[in-house]
Amino acid sequence: MLSMQQSSELPVRSVDLTVIGSGPGGYEAALRAAKAGMKVCLIEKAALGGVCVNWGCIPTKALLRSAELFELVKKADRYGIKVASGEIDLAEAVKRSRNVALKLSKGIGFMLRRAGVDVVQGEAFFNSAHDLDVFRDGVRVETVTANHIIIASGARSRQLSGMEPDGKRIITSREALALKQLPASMIVVGGGAIGVEMAWFYAMAGTAVTIVELLPRLLPLEDVEISEALQLSFEKAGITVVTGAKLEDVTVEGEQVRAMLVAEGAEPQPVQADHLLVAVGVTGNSDGLGLECAGVEVARGFIVTDALCRTTATNIFAIGDVRGGMLLAHKASAEAVIAVDTIGGKSSTPIDESMIPRCVYAEPSVASIGLSEEQAIARGYTVKVGRAMFAASGKANAYGNLEGLVKLVFNSADYSLLGAHVLGHGAVELIGELTLARRFELTAEQIASTIHAHPTLSESIKEAAENALQK
């Protein structure tokens, strides 16, 4: 809990809406509300843009771009280009990623100022459902009174007992984004999106990487066929993947992390590495806000809301990671629209998570929307599956990126699209077309009959739909 120390004669700011947090959901909510004519205050304790812009989505993608280019340089002779063998300069790659993040953070500040949003630096703490105290360095500096409040405080890395980060040898993705020297070895605990992306980056940079995932496969929430193909690709790239496994007896000894690798059906094996990256998901930043003073209910670290993002306090809304569900920046932005429109008295439609695309930015990348084949069958659908392999694509061959496929899952009753899954170079860009197809309930025939430019990677979407129809 924050200190109750305060300065005398505190200013009181009265607004229509206060937004706590400036991540993708928070700044979208503030901008949208200001555009609608509300007087808006945004409270942020760190850099504008939140974790996504400063320590998540954006700097991660900047680093992954460096790794992608480095990998291309190593293969340059295949493309008729002679270059001296090089090495990645991790410090320069990190510097570039920080500059990209800084640029976008400044851009958000400019947009908020232009929209007339009052930005207050500090930590917010509820003392009622309408009143927030703002603390800076433990000192209460002002009070904000608002008709409505949107909580967009995000999430933080979840910790595992016995693997608590020390910021040096046992690290989270935040420290992994700012290492100045390339480690010789790294163990990544967690085969979800964050673990997969960081493992791929460091492996491409030259680190010996081992991924340890407790569940039977990487990306355990994705389609089985896609997950298994990704694992094969990773192993081909030299990444050691151990699934159905966990680490025990983790210790830090000098400059090494040591542990026992316990895999189902195998004898425990000692392992060690320069760094242990713990990437086992996140928990909502719901503590330290004084939510109990506002009557806001929390369950398992996430704020409880209804379908329109309203909390148990009727004037307070929660959006983004702190609300739970899919922990995606674009979901937070969509929830911002719902919350602000509801506050403004407009009709809002709850989010259907089956309409939200999911992306993992390794190489090959993974993108999906809707149901996996396994989920569709479990829900009682009889399915038709269409596939198109990138190895048969002219554009993929020209690129030299032959791994992966487009997999479309249709309802055999009417051939409507239930789910779409792409593994391969550019998958995260191809998912846009499939998101539209899912959103407007297009059929296999409609997708197959749509003319696609040649040669493009997107032709594989058309070919996957044709493949389903041929069956």
Q: What are phi and psi of 27, to 5 degrees?
A: -70, -30
95-124: string of b/e by CB count within 10 Å (b at 16+)? ebbbebbbebbeebbeebeeeebbbbebbb
**Which residues, in sequence order, are bridge partners of residue 139?**
136
Cβ contacts of 137 within 8 Å, gap of 6 or more: none
**Which residues, in sequence order, are bridge partners of residue 123?**
135
The Cα 218–Cα 423 span in angstroms is 13
The Cα 176–Cα 139 span in angstroms is 32
Contact indicator for 412, 377 with CB cutoff of 8 Å: no
Query: Please, what is the end-to-end C-alpha distance for the chain in angstroms?
Result: 61
Is there a catalytic annotation at residue 454?
A: yes
The Cα 358–Cα 265 span in angstroms is 32
Catalytic residue among 130, 148, 452, 454: 454
Reduced to 3 states (helix: H, G, I; strand: E, B; else coil), residue 407 is strand
- Other beta carbons within 10 Å of 168: 11
The Cα 113–Cα 23 span in angstroms is 16
The Cα 134–Cα 379 span in angstroms is 48
Instruction: Give 6's DSSP letter.
Output: B
Which of the residues are catalytic? 454
